[in-house]
Amino acid sequence: MKKGTLALLIHGGTDNWSPERWQARFNEVCRDRPVLSLAEARSAAAEVHYAAVWKPAPGKLAVFPNLRAIFNLGAGVDAVLADKTLPDVPLVRVAVGDLTGRMTEYVVLHVLMHHRQEPYLRQSQREKRWAPKAQWAASAISVGVMGLGTLGADAAQVLCRLGFKVAGWSSSRRDIAGIDGFHGPDQFDAFLRRTDILVCLLPLTSDTRHILSRDVFAKLNRSGPLGAPVVINAGRGGLQNEADILACLDDGTLGAVSLDVFSQEPLPADSRFWTHPKVVLTPHNAADTDPDEISRYVARQIERFEAGGALENVVDRERGY
């Protein structure tokens, strides 16, 4: 296949994710290939063969008549798929080891913080109280991971190594050594009933939107040592019903949450999430992947594709991820 041109459709990134930094980076890894900025691509639409995109506005991709593939620079493709005019070419998502490792760090950190009663211990330090509480072992806690793709599977395995009882739930069956596997709608309730700490790493699709809601929280295990279940969402804000989360924290249906994502980001200053004593929040930084690794990944995929190989991690549009 003839060597194609790559256009960068990058909106809104700052610092390391600014359009200028991305262009410098792609120029580095695509040495014999033209790399066009957003403005350059607009004035030479017919020459664009590949698009690397970050938060493109709807309609922006439809103007390129000779597009061969689209590379989303993040793992979640829900925003790109929402574009009704998206060209019918392969859409590739990022799947690099760096992103997986960072997400596992986040999940392990937040599971351990709740398990080891960190909010209580920090409060005790502020109040100068030497007051250790009884502490159970990891083996007393059932963690349930929703979503057993690359990210969920890796996090589940490390939690298992730490001694937690780990189950996973996914749309289709996945067998992972040491992980108690559940799949499909029929097994969802059984998965929830045995779960003390629920970790959500699902993709956002029409099936999963607002899946983190009161009827799910009410089915989680209430008889574990934590006293009330804990929810950790590092997937997408659209997965959570935020009014339900706050109401369930208030009435004790949930004991605590860790949230990295929100329906509106940055989180508005008047959100109750900022100040709720049972909320641990992070500013959507669970898995800020190294842009150098992402750009090398895209360049490698294009080279292999032009040499006759298949693209990897192509999104199934029917499934939505």
Please, are residues 248 and 217 in contact by the beta-carbon 8 Å criterion? Answer: yes
Does position 290 interact with a copy of itself (CB under 8 A)? The reply is: yes
Phi-psi region of 23 (alpha: psi -120 to 50; beta: other; left: phi over 0): alpha
Does position 218 interact with a copy of itself (CB under 8 A)? The reply is: no
183 is catalytic: no
For residue 306, the SS3 value is: helix
Q: Which helix (H) or strand (E) holds 120?
A: helix 118-126
Stretch that binds a copy of itself, among 193-201, 235-243, 247-255, 282-290 (CB under 8 A): 282-290
Q: Please identify which residue in 66, 137, 184, 189 interacts with a copy of itself, judged by CB under 8 A.
A: 137
Q: 179 is written with which tokens?
A: 């992980």
User: What are the backbone angles phi and psi of residue 180, rounded to the nearest 5°?
Assistant: -80, 110
Which CB, 148 or 279, lies closer to a copy of itself?
279
Catalytic residue among 284, 296, 300, 317: 284
- Rg, the chain, Cα only: 21
Does position 104 interact with a copy of itself (CB under 8 A)? The reply is: yes
Stretch that binds a copy of itself, among 24-32, 54-62, 112-120, 188-196 (CB under 8 A): 112-120
Q: Please identify which residue in 12, 58, 59, 132 interacts with a copy of itself, judged by CB under 8 A.
A: 132
Stretch that binds a copy of itself, among 178-186, 243-251, 279-287, 310-318 (CB under 8 A): 279-287
Rounded to whole angstroms, how far apart are CA atoms 200 and 21? 32
Q: Strands of 100-163 (E only): list them.
A: 142-146
Rounded to whole angstroms, how far apart are CA atoms 284 and 265? 8
Rounded to whole angstroms, how far apart are CA atoms 39 and 201? 35
Stretch that binds a copy of itself, among 159-167, 170-178, 187-195, 303-311 (CB under 8 A): 159-167
Does position 95 interact with a copy of itself (CB under 8 A)? The reply is: no
The least CB distance from residue 208 to a copy of itself, in Å, is 24
Number of residues that bind a copy of itself (CB under 8 A): 48
Does position 118 interact with a copy of itself (CB under 8 A)? The reply is: yes
Stretch that binds a copy of itself, among 81-89, 124-132, 202-210, 248-256 (CB under 8 A): 124-132
Rounded to whole angstroms, how far apart are CA atoms 291 and 316? 24
236 is catalytic: yes
Catalytic residue among 210, 236, 296, 317: 236
Rounded to whole angstroms, how far apart are CA atoms 20 and 26? 10
Q: Please identify which residue in 83, 105, 180, 303 interacts with a copy of itself, judged by CB under 8 A.
A: 105
Does position 177 interact with a copy of itself (CB under 8 A)? The reply is: no
Q: Strands of 2-141 (E only): list them.
A: 5-10, 35-36, 48-54, 69-72, 91-92
Q: Tell me the C-alpha to C-alpha distance, in Å, between residue 115 and each of 109, 129, 221, 245, 309.
A: 10, 20, 15, 20, 46
Does position 282 interact with a copy of itself (CB under 8 A)? The reply is: yes
The least CB distance from residue 248 to a copy of itself, in Å, is 20
Q: Please identify which residue in 134, 177, 307, 310 interacts with a copy of itself, judged by CB under 8 A.
A: 134
Q: Please identify which residue in 29, 69, 228, 267 interacts with a copy of itself, judged by CB under 8 A.
A: 267
Q: Strands of the chain (E only): list them.
A: 5-10, 35-36, 48-54, 69-72, 91-92, 142-146, 165-170, 180-183, 197-200, 230-233, 256-259, 279-281
Catalytic residues: 236, 284
**What residues make contact with a copy of itself under the rule CB under 8 A?**
15-16, 98, 101-102, 104-106, 108-109, 112-113, 115-116, 118, 121-122, 124-125, 128, 130-135, 137-139, 158, 161-163, 265-267, 269, 274-275, 279-285, 288, 290
